[in-house]
Copies of this chain bind each other. A is one copy, B any other.
Amino acid sequence: MTGAPSGPPASARLLLSCADRPGIVAAVSSFLEKQGANIFQSDQYSTDPEGGEFFMRVEFHLEGIDDNRDDFERGFADVAGSLGMSWRISYTAQRKRIAIMVSRYDHCLLDLLWRWRRGELDCDIPLVVSNWTDLQADVETFGVQYVHVPVDKDKKAEAEARHLGLFGERFDLIVLARYMQIMSGDFLQAVKTPVINIHHSFLPAFAGADPYARARERGVKLIGATAHYVSEELDAGPIIEQDVSRVTHRDSTETLVGIGRDIERSVLARAVKAHLEDRVIVFGNRTVVF
Protein backbone atom coordinates (compact mmCIF):
# COMPACT_ATOMS: atom_id res chain seq x y z
CA MET A 1 0.00 0.00 0.00
CA THR A 2 1.95 2.95 -1.26
CA GLY A 3 0.15 6.19 -0.55
CA ALA A 4 0.02 9.15 -2.86
CA PRO A 5 1.34 12.35 -1.33
CA SER A 6 -1.20 14.71 0.19
CA GLY A 7 -3.04 16.72 -2.44
CA PRO A 8 -2.49 20.36 -3.22
CA PRO A 9 -4.41 23.01 -1.20
CA ALA A 10 -8.03 23.56 -2.16
CA SER A 11 -8.55 19.85 -2.58
CA ALA A 12 -10.95 17.41 -0.97
CA ARG A 13 -11.79 13.73 -0.70
CA LEU A 14 -15.31 12.48 -1.14
CA LEU A 15 -16.20 9.01 0.14
CA LEU A 16 -19.52 7.41 -0.55
CA SER A 17 -21.39 4.14 -0.59
CA CYS A 18 -24.80 3.05 -1.85
CA ALA A 19 -26.61 0.16 -3.44
CA ASP A 20 -24.90 -0.51 -6.78
CA ARG A 21 -26.81 0.62 -9.90
CA PRO A 22 -25.89 2.17 -13.27
CA GLY A 23 -25.08 5.85 -13.36
CA ILE A 24 -23.40 6.47 -10.02
CA VAL A 25 -19.97 7.34 -11.39
CA ALA A 26 -21.53 9.53 -14.06
CA ALA A 27 -23.66 11.39 -11.50
CA VAL A 28 -20.71 12.03 -9.17
CA SER A 29 -18.22 12.98 -11.84
CA SER A 30 -20.69 15.18 -13.69
CA PHE A 31 -21.53 17.03 -10.49
CA LEU A 32 -17.82 17.56 -9.82
CA GLU A 33 -17.17 18.72 -13.37
CA LYS A 34 -20.00 21.25 -13.18
CA GLN A 35 -18.41 22.70 -10.05
CA GLY A 36 -15.14 23.00 -11.99
CA ALA A 37 -13.31 20.30 -10.04
CA ASN A 38 -10.37 18.36 -11.42
CA ILE A 39 -10.42 14.74 -10.23
CA PHE A 40 -6.92 13.49 -9.64
CA GLN A 41 -7.66 10.16 -8.07
CA SER A 42 -10.78 8.04 -8.18
CA ASP A 43 -11.34 4.52 -6.89
CA GLN A 44 -14.45 2.44 -6.79
CA TYR A 45 -15.48 -1.02 -5.77
CA SER A 46 -18.69 -2.99 -5.92
CA THR A 47 -19.29 -6.13 -3.88
CA ASP A 48 -21.47 -7.28 -6.77
CA PRO A 49 -22.64 -5.35 -9.86
CA GLU A 50 -26.02 -7.04 -9.43
CA GLY A 51 -27.53 -6.01 -6.11
CA GLY A 52 -24.25 -5.34 -4.34
CA GLU A 53 -22.93 -2.41 -2.37
CA PHE A 54 -20.97 0.26 -4.22
CA PHE A 55 -18.07 2.25 -2.68
CA MET A 56 -16.24 5.23 -4.15
CA ARG A 57 -13.44 7.58 -3.16
CA VAL A 58 -12.73 10.65 -5.27
CA GLU A 59 -9.90 13.06 -4.62
CA PHE A 60 -10.19 16.36 -6.46
CA HIS A 61 -8.95 19.91 -6.70
CA LEU A 62 -11.49 22.72 -6.75
CA GLU A 63 -10.31 26.31 -6.62
CA GLY A 64 -12.02 28.18 -3.81
CA ILE A 65 -13.72 25.18 -2.26
CA ASP A 66 -12.48 26.09 1.20
CA ASP A 67 -14.57 29.26 1.10
CA ASN A 68 -17.66 27.51 -0.25
CA ARG A 69 -17.85 24.26 1.64
CA ASP A 70 -21.49 24.70 2.65
CA ASP A 71 -22.64 25.38 -0.92
CA PHE A 72 -20.65 22.46 -2.21
CA GLU A 73 -22.03 20.09 0.39
CA ARG A 74 -25.62 21.24 -0.15
CA GLY A 75 -25.20 20.63 -3.85
CA PHE A 76 -23.76 17.20 -3.39
CA ALA A 77 -26.40 16.29 -0.82
CA ASP A 78 -28.96 16.52 -3.64
CA VAL A 79 -27.02 14.10 -5.82
CA ALA A 80 -26.48 11.79 -2.86
CA GLY A 81 -30.11 11.93 -1.87
CA SER A 82 -31.36 10.97 -5.31
CA LEU A 83 -29.10 7.88 -5.28
CA GLY A 84 -29.54 6.91 -1.63
CA MET A 85 -25.88 7.44 -0.76
CA SER A 86 -24.08 7.54 2.55
CA TRP A 87 -21.22 9.98 2.16
CA ARG A 88 -18.63 12.15 3.84
CA ILE A 89 -16.16 14.74 2.66
CA SER A 90 -12.78 15.72 4.00
CA TYR A 91 -10.84 18.88 3.07
CA THR A 92 -7.08 18.69 2.82
CA ALA A 93 -6.85 22.27 4.09
CA GLN A 94 -8.27 21.04 7.40
CA ARG A 95 -5.57 18.89 8.95
CA LYS A 96 -6.76 15.99 11.04
CA ARG A 97 -5.91 15.91 14.73
CA ILE A 98 -4.60 12.76 16.36
CA ALA A 99 -4.24 11.82 20.02
CA ILE A 100 -1.96 8.89 20.80
CA MET A 101 -2.40 6.59 23.79
CA VAL A 102 0.56 4.50 24.90
CA SER A 103 1.74 2.49 27.90
CA ARG A 104 5.47 1.72 28.23
CA TYR A 105 6.66 0.36 24.86
CA ASP A 106 8.16 3.15 22.80
CA HIS A 107 8.49 1.66 19.31
CA CYS A 108 5.08 2.41 17.80
CA LEU A 109 4.90 5.82 19.45
CA LEU A 110 8.35 6.96 18.31
CA ASP A 111 7.80 5.66 14.81
CA LEU A 112 4.61 7.70 14.48
CA LEU A 113 6.28 10.82 15.91
CA TRP A 114 9.31 10.47 13.61
CA ARG A 115 7.11 10.03 10.56
CA TRP A 116 4.96 12.96 11.60
CA ARG A 117 7.93 15.29 12.15
CA ARG A 118 9.34 14.25 8.76
CA GLY A 119 6.06 15.07 7.02
CA GLU A 120 4.99 11.51 6.21
CA LEU A 121 1.76 11.86 8.21
CA ASP A 122 -0.39 14.82 7.23
CA CYS A 123 -1.94 15.67 10.62
CA ASP A 124 -1.47 17.47 13.92
CA ILE A 125 -0.41 15.45 16.97
CA PRO A 126 -0.92 17.74 19.96
CA LEU A 127 -1.43 15.10 22.66
CA VAL A 128 -0.07 11.82 24.00
CA VAL A 129 -1.86 10.18 26.93
CA SER A 130 -0.25 7.40 28.95
CA ASN A 131 -0.95 5.34 32.03
CA TRP A 132 2.79 5.50 32.72
CA THR A 133 5.35 8.29 32.87
CA ASP A 134 8.20 6.47 31.13
CA LEU A 135 7.93 8.10 27.74
CA GLN A 136 7.30 11.69 28.84
CA ALA A 137 10.77 13.00 27.98
CA ASP A 138 10.77 11.36 24.56
CA VAL A 139 7.40 12.83 23.68
CA GLU A 140 8.23 16.32 24.85
CA THR A 141 11.28 16.32 22.56
CA PHE A 142 8.79 16.51 19.71
CA GLY A 143 6.98 19.49 21.27
CA VAL A 144 3.95 17.34 22.07
CA GLN A 145 2.02 17.49 25.34
CA TYR A 146 2.24 14.33 27.48
CA VAL A 147 -0.52 13.70 29.99
CA HIS A 148 -0.19 10.97 32.57
CA VAL A 149 -3.52 9.35 33.45
CA PRO A 150 -2.93 6.41 35.80
CA VAL A 151 -5.38 3.53 35.39
CA ASP A 152 -6.14 1.65 38.58
CA LYS A 153 -7.91 -1.62 38.05
CA ASP A 154 -10.78 -0.62 40.29
CA LYS A 155 -10.98 3.00 39.10
CA LYS A 156 -11.08 2.44 35.36
CA ALA A 157 -14.24 4.48 34.93
CA GLU A 158 -12.53 7.48 36.49
CA ALA A 159 -9.59 7.16 34.15
CA GLU A 160 -11.89 6.88 31.16
CA ALA A 161 -13.76 9.97 32.29
CA ARG A 162 -10.46 11.84 32.35
CA HIS A 163 -9.68 10.55 28.86
CA LEU A 164 -13.02 11.81 27.58
CA GLY A 165 -12.33 15.16 29.16
CA LEU A 166 -8.93 15.38 27.50
CA PHE A 167 -10.19 14.38 24.07
CA GLY A 168 -13.42 16.41 24.11
CA GLU A 169 -14.42 16.89 20.51
CA ARG A 170 -11.03 18.10 19.46
CA PHE A 171 -9.75 14.94 17.76
CA ASP A 172 -10.40 13.07 14.52
CA LEU A 173 -8.57 9.89 15.48
CA ILE A 174 -7.23 8.17 18.56
CA VAL A 175 -4.30 5.81 18.01
CA LEU A 176 -3.47 3.11 20.54
CA ALA A 177 0.27 2.72 20.04
CA ARG A 178 0.63 -0.34 22.30
CA TYR A 179 -1.77 0.97 24.96
CA MET A 180 -2.16 -2.04 27.23
CA GLN A 181 -5.60 -1.36 28.65
CA ILE A 182 -8.92 -2.63 27.38
CA MET A 183 -11.45 0.12 26.72
CA SER A 184 -14.98 -0.19 27.96
CA GLY A 185 -17.92 -0.21 25.63
CA ASP A 186 -19.18 2.92 27.37
CA PHE A 187 -15.96 4.74 26.56
CA LEU A 188 -16.02 3.68 22.92
CA GLN A 189 -19.62 4.89 22.61
CA ALA A 190 -18.88 8.19 24.29
CA VAL A 191 -15.65 9.08 22.51
CA LYS A 192 -17.31 9.44 19.09
CA THR A 193 -13.93 9.20 17.37
CA PRO A 194 -12.46 6.26 15.45
CA VAL A 195 -9.88 4.39 17.51
CA ILE A 196 -7.10 2.43 15.77
CA ASN A 197 -5.27 -0.27 17.72
CA ILE A 198 -2.20 -2.33 16.84
CA HIS A 199 -2.45 -5.95 17.94
CA HIS A 200 0.73 -7.98 18.00
CA SER A 201 -0.46 -11.01 16.04
CA PHE A 202 -1.94 -11.76 12.63
CA LEU A 203 -5.57 -11.78 13.67
CA PRO A 204 -7.72 -13.79 14.06
CA ALA A 205 -4.85 -15.95 15.34
CA PHE A 206 -3.73 -15.18 18.90
CA ALA A 207 -6.31 -12.56 19.82
CA GLY A 208 -5.99 -11.48 23.45
CA ALA A 209 -2.99 -11.60 25.77
CA ASP A 210 0.57 -12.82 25.16
CA PRO A 211 0.41 -13.55 21.45
CA TYR A 212 4.17 -13.97 21.03
CA ALA A 213 4.42 -16.57 23.79
CA ARG A 214 1.44 -18.38 22.31
CA ALA A 215 2.94 -18.17 18.80
CA ARG A 216 6.11 -19.79 20.10
CA GLU A 217 4.11 -22.42 21.95
CA ARG A 218 2.20 -23.29 18.75
CA GLY A 219 5.41 -23.40 16.72
CA VAL A 220 4.32 -21.07 13.91
CA LYS A 221 6.85 -20.12 11.23
CA LEU A 222 5.46 -16.60 10.73
CA ILE A 223 4.51 -13.96 13.26
CA GLY A 224 2.53 -10.83 12.49
CA ALA A 225 0.72 -7.71 13.55
CA THR A 226 -2.71 -6.28 12.78
CA ALA A 227 -4.00 -2.70 12.82
CA HIS A 228 -7.76 -2.51 13.29
CA TYR A 229 -10.52 -0.20 14.41
CA VAL A 230 -11.41 -0.91 18.00
CA SER A 231 -14.87 -2.34 18.64
CA GLU A 232 -16.41 -3.63 21.82
CA GLU A 233 -15.28 -7.19 21.22
CA LEU A 234 -11.56 -7.53 21.98
CA ASP A 235 -9.31 -7.70 18.88
CA ALA A 236 -12.33 -8.32 16.69
CA GLY A 237 -12.83 -4.95 14.98
CA PRO A 238 -12.46 -4.21 11.24
CA ILE A 239 -8.90 -4.92 10.03
CA ILE A 240 -7.11 -2.11 8.17
CA GLU A 241 -3.65 -3.58 7.63
CA GLN A 242 -1.60 -6.67 8.51
CA ASP A 243 1.87 -7.97 7.89
CA VAL A 244 4.10 -10.86 8.95
CA SER A 245 7.73 -11.80 9.30
CA ARG A 246 9.39 -15.19 9.02
CA VAL A 247 10.66 -16.80 12.22
CA THR A 248 12.30 -20.11 13.09
CA HIS A 249 12.61 -22.57 15.96
CA ARG A 250 15.66 -20.58 17.11
CA ASP A 251 13.56 -17.56 18.06
CA SER A 252 12.74 -17.38 21.75
CA THR A 253 9.67 -15.49 22.88
CA GLU A 254 12.03 -12.59 23.60
CA THR A 255 13.41 -12.51 20.05
CA LEU A 256 9.86 -12.85 18.66
CA VAL A 257 8.98 -9.72 20.62
CA GLY A 258 11.93 -7.93 18.98
CA ILE A 259 11.05 -9.07 15.46
CA GLY A 260 7.44 -8.17 16.17
CA ARG A 261 8.31 -4.60 17.10
CA ASP A 262 9.39 -3.92 13.52
CA ILE A 263 6.17 -5.35 12.11
CA GLU A 264 3.94 -3.58 14.63
CA ARG A 265 5.34 -0.13 14.02
CA SER A 266 5.21 -0.34 10.23
CA VAL A 267 1.73 -1.87 10.13
CA LEU A 268 0.38 0.77 12.51
CA ALA A 269 2.01 3.59 10.54
CA ARG A 270 0.51 2.32 7.27
CA ALA A 271 -2.94 2.05 8.84
CA VAL A 272 -2.79 5.54 10.34
CA LYS A 273 -1.58 6.96 7.02
CA ALA A 274 -4.44 5.26 5.16
CA HIS A 275 -6.94 6.64 7.67
CA LEU A 276 -5.48 10.16 7.43
CA GLU A 277 -5.72 10.05 3.64
CA ASP A 278 -9.37 8.98 3.91
CA ARG A 279 -8.67 5.71 2.15
CA VAL A 280 -10.59 3.48 4.57
CA ILE A 281 -14.32 2.77 4.51
CA VAL A 282 -15.75 0.41 7.12
CA PHE A 283 -18.67 -1.79 6.10
CA GLY A 284 -19.94 -4.46 8.42
CA ASN A 285 -16.86 -5.79 10.15
CA ARG A 286 -14.59 -5.34 7.12
CA THR A 287 -12.82 -2.46 5.45
CA VAL A 288 -12.43 -1.20 1.93
CA VAL A 289 -8.94 0.35 1.73
CA PHE A 290 -8.60 2.36 -1.48
- Residues of chain A whose beta carbon lies under 8 Å from any beta carbon of chain B: 2-5, 8, 20-27, 29-30, 32-33, 36-46, 49, 61, 106-107, 110, 114, 118, 120, 141, 202-206, 218-222, 224, 238-244, 246-252, 254-255, 258-259, 262, 266, 285-289
Contact = CB atoms under 8 A, between A and B. Distances in A.
A287 B49 CA distance: 28
Contacts of A27: 33
Given A202-B202, A219-B239, A244-B244, 17 more contacts: A2-B247, A2-B250, A2-B259, A21-B38, A22-B38, A25-B25, A25-B33, A29-B29, A29-B30, A40-B49, A41-B46, A43-B43, A49-B61, A106-B114, A203-B220, A222-B224, A222-B242
A12 to B, nearest CB: 13
Contact of A220 (B110, B239, B247): B239
State the oligomeric state as a number of copies.
Answer: 4
Contact of A218 (B8, B204, B241): B204
Dominant SS at the A interface? mixed
B206 A218 contact: no
Given A23-B33, A39-B44, A204-B206, A255 B2 contact: yes
Contacts of A250: 2, 4, 45
A202 B205 contact: yes
A262 B3 CA distance: 14
A243 B222 contact: yes
A241 B255 contact: no
A252 to B, nearest CB: 7
